[in-house]
């Protein structure tokens, strides 16, 4: 297993520049020099953690943790929040393999052997399907939809205490729910 732990910066110039990355491979740390640039990709939680461990973040928070601040950026690592998510279950046609069947060790072992043999089968595909549905599609009955919206307004509330940015974001989400717009639109 390997993962990036920290970005090192050359601070000798006017602007700090990423010069290497500390990478852990099976518990051993290595320093990998950057020839041109460092591109950080580490899913949802990784980038803010790596940035802050590298010294990019809120100076007050970093100093309290004993991390030298490279640039003071109070926004780094500070906007993690829940995403609207509603799981839906559905019945598939007979003969369609689902993750439920893979709980059976005989079926899983056969799928695993198929994958190792030629890289095909159920373990070679993405295990999650998804769709973007409007609230009206999920709750077509007006009464159910307005009951749900009333619960959202009560739990989220628009009276704070929120930052101006979060208040604007929540206001847009609630507006989009009420007007039937897709909340996930960017």
How does DSSP assign 28-53, residue by residue? EEEEEE-SS------TTTHHHHHHHH
Percentage of the chain lying above the pLDDT 70 cut? 79
Does the pLDDT at position 151 exceed 50?
yes
Supply the Cα-derived Rg of the chain in whole angstroms. 23
Residue 184's pLDDT is what?
Answer: 47
Q: Residue 55: pLDDT band by 50, 70, 90 thresholds?
A: very high
Which carries the bigger pLDDT value, residue 109 or residue 165? Answer: 109
User: Would you call the peptide bond into 161 cis, given omega within 30 degrees of 0 as the criterion?
Assistant: yes
**pLDDT grade, residue 185 (50/70/90)?**
very low
- Residue 24 sits at φ, ψ, to 5 deg, of -100, 125
Say what the pLDDT of residue 157 is: 63
Q: What is the pLDDT of residues 92-150, one digit of tens each?
A: 788 877 777 887 889 889 999 999 999 998 888 765 555 566 777 778 888 888 888 88
Least confident of 38-42, 50-54, 174-178, 181-185: 181-185
Whether a cis peptide bond, with omega within 30° of 0, leads into 175 is no
Q: Would you give the DSSP letter of residue 7?
A: E
Q: Is the pTM of this model over 0.75?
A: no
């Amino acid at each position: 297993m390997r993962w990036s732990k920290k970005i090192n910066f050359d601070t000798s110039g006017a602007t700090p520049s990423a010069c290497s990355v500390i990478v852990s491979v099976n518990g051993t740390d290595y320093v990998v020099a950057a020839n041109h640039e460092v591109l950080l990709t580490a899913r949802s939680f990784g980038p803010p953690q790596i940035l802050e461990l590298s010294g990019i973040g809120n100076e007050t928070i970093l100093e309290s943790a004993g991390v030298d601040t490279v640039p003071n950026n109070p926004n780094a690592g500070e906007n993690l929040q829940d995403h609207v998510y509603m799981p839906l279950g559905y019945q598939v046609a007979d003969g369609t393999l689902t993750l439920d069947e893979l709980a059976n060790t005989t079926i899983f072992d056969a799928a695993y052997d198929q994958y190792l043999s030629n890289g095909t089968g159920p373990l070679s595909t993405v295990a999650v399907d998804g769709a973007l549905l409007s609230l009206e599609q999920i709750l077509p009955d007006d009464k159910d939809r307005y009951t749900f919206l009333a619960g959202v307004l009560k739990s989220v509330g628009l009276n704070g205490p929120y930052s101006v940015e979060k208040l604007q974001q929540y206001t847009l989400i609630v507006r989009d729910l009420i007007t039937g717009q897709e909340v996930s639109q960017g």
